Structure 1
Amino acid sequence: MTRLYLISPARIEHPSIFADELRAALDGGDVAAFQLRLKDVPDEAIIRAADTLRPICQQRGVAFILNDRPDLAVKLDCDGVHVGQDDMSCAEARRIVGPDRQVGVTSKASRHLAMEAAEAGADYVAFGAFFSSSTKPVTTPAEIEIVEWWSSLMEVPCVAIGGITVENCRPLIEAGADFLAVGGGVWSYKDGPEAAVRAFNELFAAHGSADREP
């Protein structure tokens, strides 16, 4: 069954204030992972946010993933790291974080890149963007068929990312995405983060129930 993978806002000016939003989101239901994805900020800002937010996630059994920085993922005792195609190779990230932390790899809309990442030992591959996003311009639009193809052939889980909301996510669930990575679709949801997580989980459960019907 599909699960939710939360992506942080691109800026977290006050981690202790955002911590309340994160707690509310996690109160809404099952969340597999939370990725701290802060762009163009000094290391001190990443460290401060991670030290505040990581315990909230780990105490609830939610994997805490750091974007781009395997070195800091080790230093800050994160559960894993996510690397993009412009960051470093999966093999290099794995060398830095070791065998016990997760390594996720952005594959954009490329079957070739995804297969390379899986062969290199990635714990998951991420496809996207599927929809326009308020946080990241769509440079490589992905077709939902790539999720269907991957989930029918591969055991390595796939994450769908890019502009995903409660309103538009059904085709990705039906295509077999293992995880939906969602940022603005949770933090900017009209009824708040807790309601967003609850709504996503209701959709996941409904699809899982339909799958089980004879």
Structure 2
Amino acid sequence: MAAKPPAPPAPRLYLSTPVIEDPAALVGTLSALLGKADIAAVLLRLAPSDPRSLTTRIKAVAQVVQNADAALLVEGHADLVARGGADGAHLPGLAPMQEALPSLKPDWIAGCGGLTTRHHAMSAGEAGADYVLFGEPDAKGQRPSADAIAERLEWWAELFEPPCVGYAASLEEAEQFAAAGADFVLVGDLIWNDKRGTAAALVDVEQAIKQGHAALLERLKAAQD
């Protein structure tokens, strides 16, 4: 009798920051949030500035994130990852990722988003992306439907080794993407815009992920029986 494949672990949280100019307020908030939930990584989004100022901002946030045993990734700015003490960069598309890979590999994480087709996603994985992100808004704020994102996550999770990340804009999406097999769920405005506060929002997202993961385990169990 063949051994049953191990059950996949529950997805972990990947927290995207607002676009920041002054990291002081964010550092205090992050320090509290990182102790409230199982956050695997933080994506730092920076307002445009000169390289020295950007590096200073990265350093300020990196210390807090890494002290909580989470990874700090910078959106773009692959050239500042080492100087800022970050753990890697998130690149917005296949071409930017391919351009950044020589400066990031093998020491730093290279994540890739902006993957509008299956072919681009597979190309990113083959090129060496450490994860692929599905569902984030484009430059015009448009994104696929939740069902389309879930379908893409399920397809990737079943066929490929690099982790897949689902960008969740609601609690329902966080649950749906966990049920689809995402390795991580990325949340941003969902957390920062909650009127109850970021901590309460984060707890709710984590609960939604657990519910989605439970549904995934039930589906896999039914398929094996």
Whether TM-score is above 0.5 comes out as yes
Structure 2 CA distance for aligned equivalents of residues 39 and 22 of structure 1: 18
Identity of aligned residues (%): 33
Please show how residues 187-206 of structure 1 align to structure 2 within 5 Å: 187-206=192-211
Count the aligned residue pairs: 207
Q: As a proportion of its length, which structure holds more helix?
A: 2
Equivalent residue, structure 2, for 1:127: 134
Structure 2 CA distance for aligned equivalents of residues 201 and 124 of structure 1: 20
If you compute each CA radius of gyration, which structure gives the higher value, 1 or 2? 2
> Shift in Å at residue 112 of structure 1?
0.6
Alpha carbons of 1:186 and 1:140: their partners in 2 closer, same or farther (altered >3 Å)? closer
Structure 2 CA distance for aligned equivalents of residues 37 and 65 of structure 1: 9
Gaps of 5+ in 2: 1-9
Given the two structures, how large is their TM-score scaled by the length of structure 1? 0.86
**Partners of 2:171 and 2:204 within 8 A in 1:** yes
Structure 2 CA distance for aligned equivalents of residues 209 and 84 of structure 1: 31
Structure 2 CA distance for aligned equivalents of residues 86 and 42 of structure 1: 25
Given the two structures, how large is their TM-score scaled by the length of structure 2? 0.82
Alpha carbons of 1:172 and 1:211: their partners in 2 closer, same or farther (altered >3 Å)? closer
Q: Which amino acid aligns with 1:158?
A: C
**Partners of 1:8 and 1:36 within 8 A in 2:** yes
> Shift in Å at residue 209 of structure 1?
4.1
1:154 to 156, 160, 175: 160
**Partners of 2:37 and 2:202 within 8 A in 1:** yes
Equivalent residue, structure 2, for 1:138: 141
**Partners of 2:58 and 2:85 within 8 A in 1:** no
1:6 to 12, 15, 20: 15
Alpha carbons of 1:105 and 1:211: their partners in 2 closer, same or farther (altered >3 Å)? closer
Query: Which structure carries more relative contact order (alpha carbon 8 Å, separation 6+)?
Result: 1
**Partners of 1:164 and 1:180 within 8 A in 2:** no
Structure 2 CA distance for aligned equivalents of residues 33 and 62 of structure 1: 5
Please show how residues 22-171 of structure 1 align to structure 2 within 5 Å: 22-85=30-93, 88-90=96-98, 92-129=99-136, 137-141=140-144, 143=148, 144-161=150-167, 164-171=169-176
Shift >6 Å, 4+ stretches: none
Gaps of 5+ in 1: none
Q: Which amino acid aligns with 2:160?
A: M
Structure 2 CA distance for aligned equivalents of residues 108 and 118 of structure 1: 11
Alpha carbons of 1:199 and 1:45: their partners in 2 closer, same or farther (altered >3 Å)? farther
Structure 2 CA distance for aligned equivalents of residues 168 and 208 of structure 1: 12
